């Protein structure tokens, strides 16, 4: 297999859902600075995958965690919410007030809508 190609998320051997031809390492694509601050010291930033393929670090199994968090109750200090953080009913109050808070969202805010395929090997 060409080490510069990363292919994953296969439905079958004949139907790939994701195919990437990687012409450069992800570390270079990240456009990281050559020098970083570590406390009060400056250090050269080294590529941790210098001996890997262009697909590194994604050329091995990893966990991807997606989180959609709404109706926060962690004491963010913001007022005028249709729920009270300390109440046990905060999530229900948030849901019941959708007509109130959804009207304040712009069209761009709705980009969070996505479809996530459930894929298991």
| pLDDT, tens only, 46-64 | 999 999 998 888 888 888 8
**In angstroms, rounded to a whole number, what is the distance separating the alpha carbons of residues 100 and 10?**
42
pTM: 0.40
Distances (CA, A) of 7 to 17, 49, 98: 8, 19, 40
Token pair for residue 42? 């400056």
Least confident residue range of 63-67, 82-86, 110-114: 110-114
44: three-class secondary structure by DSSP: strand
Quickly state the pLDDT bin for 115 (edges 50, 70, 90).
Answer: very low
Would you state the pLDDT for residue 95? Answer: 86
Cβ-in-10-Å burial (0-12, 13-18, 19+) of 54 comes to buried
């Amino acid at each position: 297999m060409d080490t510069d190609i990363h292919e994953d998320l296969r439905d079958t051997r004949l139907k790939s859902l994701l195919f990437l031809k990687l012409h450069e390492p992800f570390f270079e694509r990240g456009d990281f600075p050559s020098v970083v601050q570590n406390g009060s010291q400056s250090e050269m930033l080294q590529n941790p995958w210098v001996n890997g393929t262009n697909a590194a670090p994604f050329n091995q199994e990893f966990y991807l965690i997606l989180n959609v968090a709404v109706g926060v109750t962690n004491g963010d200090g913001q007022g005028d919410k249709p729920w009270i953080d300390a109440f046990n009913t905060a999530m229900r109050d948030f849901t019941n007030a959708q007509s109130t808070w959804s009207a304040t969202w712009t069209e761009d805010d709705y980009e969070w809508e996505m479809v996530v395929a459930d894929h298991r090997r």
